[in-house]
Amino acid sequence: MSLFHTAMHTEHIDYWHHPGLAGIALSQADLRQFSFDKHVHLDYHLGVVTRGGQRFIHRGSSYRLGQQGISTLNPDETHDGQSLGEEGYHVKVMSLPYSMMQALSGELGLGLVHFQAPMVEDPQLYQYFIRLHWLLTQGHCSNLAAQTHLLNFVQLTLQRHLGGPLRQASRASGLSESQLALCKQQFHDEPWQNYQLETLAAEVGLSKFQFLRQFKHSTGITPHAYLKRLRLEYAKKSLMRGDRVGQVAQQVGFFDQSHFNKAFKQAFLVSPRQFQQRML
């Protein structure tokens, strides 16, 4: 499998998709000055750093991801990311669909998949992840082997590090669970809509200023930033299915393809077309 990368000064990021693993995205990056803004994902994101270190904020707490650690990020959890030092860092990431994780956990009798911590220290699992990532990205294994190795890795991860019941974050100054769920569901159901802050606020019985403040307190980002990221996450899935770039931009609610290209590259360091070429 050939390697494709886009450079930004000394920074670059690569994306892959193994044909035997539907819906799973793999990436690796060498980053120095580039910082990921606060954002969320639709899927579970597991990752390791093989050189340098990464610092990230998750639910208001700061974490440092270095060698021997694995990031275990649940869907819809706000976080950011930047280099721990001036020398930069190398990171490998695997994006695992929500439905696949829940199905496997159910078969194992483990219940809802929710990692209680955004990273764990596990040297054995760390090495397993690196070997698996290499196999899947270099195309050195068949579909059956890829599926087998992945399921073994995920099963081991869940059995070792899956937390208990989902803990509800304190929202004394934020939206209630039902208010937040209502708003998020609208965004997921119709990400292309041109939402108005005043309308969203009225639906949960708040002024627009109250809503803006409480949404940010609950999620860590503004409604606009949350929706923009959702649009980009859904766009990635459409691109992986082979939809045309211009069509995808319209589907997820960007003003035009130019705005879509700019936002996508700002978030992922590659253009939508470059991402699609790698995934297909």
**31/11 Cα distance (integer angstroms):** 5
Selection from 120, 116, 108, 90 nearest residue 29 by Cα: 90
**101/104 Cα distance (integer angstroms):** 5
CB 132 within 8 A of CB 79: no
**172/68 Cα distance (integer angstroms):** 36
Confidence of residue 157 (pLDDT cuts 50, 70, 90): very high
Mean pLDDT of 180-196: 94
> Exposed, middle or buried: residue 20 (CB in 10 Å: 0-12, 13-18, 19+)?
middle
Residue listed under structure tokens 């700019």: 262
For residue 182, is pLDDT > 80?
yes
Confidence of residue 165 (pLDDT cuts 50, 70, 90): very low
CB 169 within 8 A of CB 178: no
Whole-number mean pLDDT of the chain? 89
Maximum distance among all Cα pairs of the chain, rounded to whole angstroms: 56
pLDDT in tens, 233-253: 999 999 999 999 999 999 999
For residue 108, is pLDDT > 90?
no
Q: In the prediction, which pLDDT does 94 show?
A: 97
Q: In the prediction, which pLDDT does 141 show?
A: 78
For residue 73, is pLDDT > 80?
yes
**20/280 Cα distance (integer angstroms):** 12
Mean pLDDT of 48-67: 95
247 half-sphere exposure, CB direction, 13 A CA radius: 7
Mean pLDDT of 174-179: 92
Mean pLDDT of 102-117: 88
For residue 197, is pLDDT > 90?
no
Confidence of residue 5 (pLDDT cuts 50, 70, 90): very low
> Exposed, middle or buried: residue 45 (CB in 10 Å: 0-12, 13-18, 19+)?
buried
Cα dihedral value 204, 206, 208, 213, nearest 10: -90
Q: Which two tokens stand for residue 77?
A: 């959890």
Confidence of residue 163 (pLDDT cuts 50, 70, 90): low
Mean pLDDT of 168-174: 55
Mean pLDDT of 130-141: 88
